[in-house]
Amino acid sequence: MRLIYLLIVVTIGFSCNTRTNEKSPVQPDPKVPHLTPDPNIALKFTNEYAVLSSKGNSMDWIEGNRLLTANFKSIYKNLLDSAIKADPEMGLGFDPVFNAQDYPDSFVIKNIDKDGFIILQGKDWQNFLVMVKLVCEEKNWLVDGAGIINIPASKQIGH
């Protein structure tokens, strides 16, 4: 009797699929955003901003820009408003997005890190770098920092 039970258990063991421990490839869920930031968002914002800010006031464009977080917009506005109150003629004296007075007309991607920080490099001015911070909000990657705006001092690039 024991031999019959042993044969049944062994037969069942061998007849089971022994490959059940193998994992099938996980298919990405289209409803979940990519885990890594999209550097093209940082590039698009920075290139458009460079063109607009060189022509004058870009505050309206910043306020209506869908690539930016509300946090970025608020910090940008408060920074410029405070600078104008402190010195109505000079204002801030430099562009906070580029952390410089002068900057290139266009940028390319230099480096991406997993924490959402993107380093952009001047296309024709390769020594000019700007740090851009991306965050994921409501399944979309948005710019939450650039230059001195919402970038930790340890990651800011000075010019």
User: 30, 19, 98, 27: which is closest to 58 by C-alpha?
Assistant: 98
CA nearest to 42, candidates 72, 20, 22: 72
Q: Does domain 33-155 have CATH number 3.40.50.2000?
A: no
Question: Tens-digit pLDDT profile for the chain (159 aa)?
Answer: 444 443 444 344 444 444 444 443 444 445 555 577 899 999 999 999 999 887 776 788 999 999 999 999 999 999 999 999 998 888 888 999 999 999 999 999 999 987 789 999 999 999 999 999 999 998 999 999 999 999 999 899 876
* pLDDT for residue 3: 40
Per-domain boundaries in the chain: 33-155
Task: Please report the pLDDT score of residue 34 as a whole number.
Answer: 59
- Cβ pair 155, 115 in contact under 8 A: no
Task: Give the pLDDT score at 120.
Answer: 97
pTM here is 0.75
Predicted pLDDT at 16: 43
